[in-house]
Structure 1
Amino acid sequence: MRKIILAAAAGAAALTLAACSEGTQDAAGETVDSAAADAEANADAMGTAVEDAATDAGNAVEGATEEATAAADEAAAAAEAEVQDESTAEAQAD
């Protein structure tokens, strides 16, 4: 009689555990899907931020290069004007 009661209790515990396990599996699956969606959204946001930073850096380098080129041209024209005893405009025209 004790064995039958123990077997019945073990069976009931197994059924309870199985039912709980299915619900837990569903919840775990939803959690994984949610975490994957969050990770994807974060990766997209990070990618956009990196692209924007790269664009800004490229624009800054381009602007600095243009300014440096203009300053070098002006300095060269001023040096040529000094050496050839002419105006800066005449030196730039040469």
Structure 2
Amino acid sequence: MKKIVAIATALSAAALAACTPAAQNETAQAADQIAADANATMGQAINDTNAAADRAFGSAEATMDNAGAALSNAADKAADKTGAALKDAGNAIED
């Protein structure tokens, strides 16, 4: 993108040498507008890319959080069942 702006600026400078002052001014303004448009487009592309990355990372984080919660719940249930089985075994031995 910077190459396009540089080429446009170089062409504008070459054209300016053969023009009247009014035409030179208009050409310079057009070159400035091209550069501003290119910068705005690049800025928007960066913002869009950052937003997409944030959404992707947020989704991955939520998925990992949910998986961690599911594992934790399964481990808690297994520990509860093991504890209950040990209590039942202990009660059976006492009787």
Q: TM-score, normalised by structure 2?
A: 0.70
Distance in 2, Cα, partners of 1:65 & 1:14: 76
How large is the RMSD of aligned CA atoms in angstroms?
2.1
Letter in 2 for 1:75: L
Percent identity of equivalent pairs: 17
Cα distance, 1:17 vs structure 2 = 3.9
Partner of 1:51: 62
Return the offset for 1:21: 1.4
2:38 paired residue number: 27
2:10 matched to which residue of 1?
none
- Which of structures 1 and 2 has the bigger CA Rg? 1
Q: Counterparts of 1:80 and 1:9 in 2: how far apart (Å)?
A: 106
Counterpart residue number, 2:16: none
Q: Which runs of 5+ in 1 are unaligned?
A: 1-7, 85-94
Question: What is the TM-score of this pair, normalised by structure 1?
Answer: 0.71
Q: Corresponding residue for 2:74? A: 63
Q: How many residues align?
A: 77
Give, as a single letter, the amino acid of the residue that structure 1 aligns with 2:93. E
Q: Which runs of 5+ in 2 are unaligned?
A: 1-18
Deviates more, 1:12-21 or 1:67-76: 12-21
Q: What is residue 4 of structure 1 aligned with on the other side?
A: none
CA distance in 1, matches of 2:55, 2:71: 24
Higher RCO (C-alpha under 8 Å, 6+ residues apart): 2
For 1:12 and 1:19, how far apart are their aligned partners in 2?
Answer: 10
Which residue identity does 1:18 align to in structure 2?
A: Q
